[in-house]
Amino acid sequence: MLKEPVTHLLRKTQEIPIMNLDLLISNIEELNVMSAVYVKCDGDIRMGILLYLPEKESQMLAEKLLGKPISNELVDIATSSISEIGNILTASLINAISIDTGYRICSSVPGYAIEFFRTLLEAVISDFGNESDKLVISNVELHGVTSGICIHMLLIQDSSEIRKLVI
């Protein structure tokens, strides 16, 4: 994250019934407003990638990206910078999956929102609701060693889609 060592951790991969989203939402996430970027992927593999971090950390990351404190004039640029970070991170992941598997994967334009985590998750899950009653969700964390900024990434797939990556 901008000239800073970053550690990563795959926290958990689990198959979750769509009707039981509470398994994904911690008490801390439930109470915090999050900045989030969502990218929907289609093609040979269909998945959603949701990157999110608490709004306060989002502001710290935007200030780091812009190299100065965010003033009223920079709010739109700060939002755009967070969205672009999400775009870069998801594109890197999508490219790695595509290269490793040979699958063609196309991603959407990143969507950006500031909202409570439950609302963000419900919007993302609605993309998958018509096809399956269960989803496979992997929770990855990226930690900036110096800044302490933590970006969470949820990789979301229908259980039939995950088989394409495992087989």
Per-domain residue ranges of the chain: 6-166
The percentage of the chain sitting over the pLDDT mark of 70, rounded to a whole number, equals: 87
Mean pLDDT of 102-124: 88
Specify whether the CB–CB gap between 135 and 16 falls below 8 A: yes
**pTM for this model (two decimals):** 0.85
More confident residue, 71 or 64: 64
Q: Which CATH superfamily is domain 6-166 in?
A: CheC-like (3.40.1550.10)
Q: How many CB atoms lie within 10 A of CB 53?
A: 25
The reported pLDDT for the residue numbered 105 is 92
Looking at residue 84, its pLDDT comes to 83
CA dist 74 to 2, 68, 134, Å? 19, 10, 41
Mean pLDDT highest for which of 18-22, 78-82, 87-91, 124-128? Answer: 87-91
Residues 33 and 120: their CA atoms lie apart, in Å, by: 10
Predicted local distance difference test score (pLDDT) of residue 26: 67
Q: Which residues does residue 134 pair with via DSSP β-bridges, in sequence order? A: 17
pLDDT tens-digit series, residues 20-36: 777 777 655 666 788 89
Q: What are phi and psi of 158, to 5 degrees?
A: -65, 145
pLDDT (mean) for 6-23 = 82
